[in-house]
Amino acid sequence: MTRPLDGITVVSLEHAIAAPFCTRQLADLGARVIKVERPGVGDFARAYDSRVKGQASHFVWTNRSKESLTLDLKQPDALAALKDLLGQADVLVQNLAPGAAARMGLSFEALSQLHPKLIVCDISGYGEDGPYRDKKAYDLLIQSEAGMLSITGTPDEPSKAGNSMADIAAGMYAYTGILSALLLRAKTGQGSHIDVSMLESLAEWMGYPLYYAFEGAPPPPRTAASHASIYPYGPFQAGDGGTVMLGLQNEREWKLFCEVVLQDAGLAGDARFDSNAKRNEHREALKAIILATFASLNTAEVVARLDKAQIANARMNSMAEVWAHPQLKARERWQSVGSPAGAIPALLPPGRNNSFDYRMDAIPAVGQHTDAILRELGQGDEAIARLRAAGAI
């Protein structure tokens, strides 16, 4: 079947997570993604760990279905090859250090003079201007700057999210920005410049707590895995040591929770708990009542009662339990992709589409496609050998 981005070529000067996550999703939709890496070592994310058959967990997640081209862009011949490649590309994505791409003549302003249809997406920590432009930006630092740490954790200690939320947010907005630019180019015939910052991406995701603290109002308190303003809403331990997440949204559910789950219908009218505001105010007293009931039940029994009452609930799964999740298995979300170390499982992208199948090709070895790509650009065997001897590829 034809995929949405079949025929689109993306060149990416990428490392770590934000840009690779963006471009992998473009590859999922059929785009040809050429990943430019440093000769020998490649993307430094390849060395983050060795948990997946000797390969890094971050890297295998964000780099399937790509081609790897090694170029030492400090060498003129290698940079010239890249610029030749951009003449055949639709999109350039880069998340190099601030200003690095522009110093190599790879700014949108310079490239658009030669390639007016080219879409250029720059991903950075803070954006291309402003007082923070040149600051280094890692995920933890942006989670801090965007206020996520201030509302995440326990009352005693802030915590970062356990995944790279700022990188993921920036990668998602870069991805959707490029899709929008491709649609716009189909109407205007012109490329676009997309300037995505990690700070602005994560700040957008902070909309609720920002408005909750509108005009100097107190921000949401840190409540670990519980909700800051709705109760009961969060983790509760069953008698067998398992943890069940549950959440109540309205008074009808509160009455059902008392009748079916706690088996104490009279509790629904207790003056301490007859509105969400009161339940939130007296959460410690209510927590003690809930835990006393759950102490006599195992995890499955608690879930059964919650399901019977139609109260939203979930198990707090470990990574091993997510690997084996029955819903993912039933919907056949796991597939196999190739890699330099052999086949590994990979999740299909979210969102089934009955018009096409997602591209699920192999994760490349460093420089695996260098010779083939250079031959496409007209380089012969002798020229490629000279580049290799000079360490340019």
Instruction: Give residue-wise pLDDT tens across range 266-285.
Output: 999 999 999 999 999 999 99
CATH number for region 9-205+350-389? 3.40.50.10540
Find the length of the chain.
393
User: What ranges do the domains of the chain cover?
Assistant: 9-205+350-389, 233-316
Taking the CA atoms of residue 331, residue 174, residue 61 and residue 65 in that order, the dihedral angle to the nearest 10 degrees is 80
Q: What is the mean pLDDT of residues 21-39?
A: 98
Q: CB of 202 within 8 A of CB of 166?
A: yes
Q: What is the mean pLDDT of residues 300-306?
A: 96
* pLDDT of amino acid 375: 97
What is the DSSP pairing of strand 32-37 with strand 66-70? parallel
CATH number for region 233-316? 3.30.1540.10
Q: Cα-flanking dihedrals φ and ψ of residue 233, to 5°?
A: -160, 100
CB atoms near residue 231 (< 10 Å): 24
pLDDT at residue 229 tops 90: no
pLDDT in tens, 249-267: 999 999 999 999 999 999 9
pLDDT at residue 41 tops 90: yes
User: CA triplet 203, 205, 209: central angle to 5 degrees?
Assistant: 85
Choice among 15, 58, 115, 227 that is catalytic? 227
* pLDDT of amino acid 228: 84
Through-space distance between the first and last CA atoms of the chain, rounded to whole angstroms: 35
pTM of this prediction? 0.92
* pLDDT of amino acid 291: 98
User: CA triplet 151, 153, 155: central angle to 5 degrees?
Assistant: 85
Output the DSSP codes for 329-388: HHTT-EEEE--TT--EEEEPPSS--TT-PPP--PPPPTTTTHHHHHHHTT--HHHHHHHH
pLDDT in tens, 118-127: 999 999 999 9
Residue 227 bears catalytic tag: yes
Average pLDDT, the chain: 96
Confidence of residue 287 (pLDDT cuts 50, 70, 90): very high
Q: What is the mean pLDDT of residues 221-233?
A: 90
